[in-house]
Amino acid sequence: MIYNINDKFEESFVIFKNTHQNFIQLSEDRNPLHTNNEFAISKGFKGIVMHGNILNAFISYFIGECLPTKDVIIHSQEIQFKNPVYLDDKLKFTASVSGVYESVNAIEFKYYFRNLEKKIVAKGKIQIGII
């Protein structure tokens, strides 16, 4: 297999306005926490909070486009949201191979997203299959 325990991958992502707007259009999730600045501030945030599932789209991009092989499929993924993400946030995504299961052609990654303040905004695990 081409993956080894502790192999590390990094990508950078930015939550642009069009990313946010396109996600709202796709998901039809117009919850005021994600769309109304005054509402979000009244709930203790510094502005509208980006949808957490935008990060899942970044994970999909990582698996589908950034790995050294394209013959992969996501078996499962887990995400824990730790801190809010805001419009124009720059995020660093880091994933490390935490398991290689040759008998079933599967790879497991542990990952996290950090903002520019070095705060972890989300973390989790992804298991992929080599097809």
Q: How confident is the model at residue 111 (pLDDT cuts 50, 70, 90)?
A: very high
Averaged pLDDT for residues 11-25: 97
Averaged pLDDT for residues 31-55: 98
The full 3-state SS of 35-103, as one line of letters, equals: HCHHHHHHCCCCCCECCCHHHHHHHHHHHHHHCCCCCEEEEEEEEEECCCCECCCEEEEEEEEEEEEHH
Structure letter (DSSP) for residue 27: H
Whole-model pTM? 0.93
Averaged pLDDT for residues 36-48: 98
Domains of the chain are 8-130 (3.10.129.10)
Whether 1 has a pLDDT exceeding 90, the answer reads: no
At 65 the pLDDT is 96
CB 13 within 8 A of CB 58: yes
Q: And the tokens for 36?
A: 């109304």
List phi, psi (to 5°) of 18: -70, -30
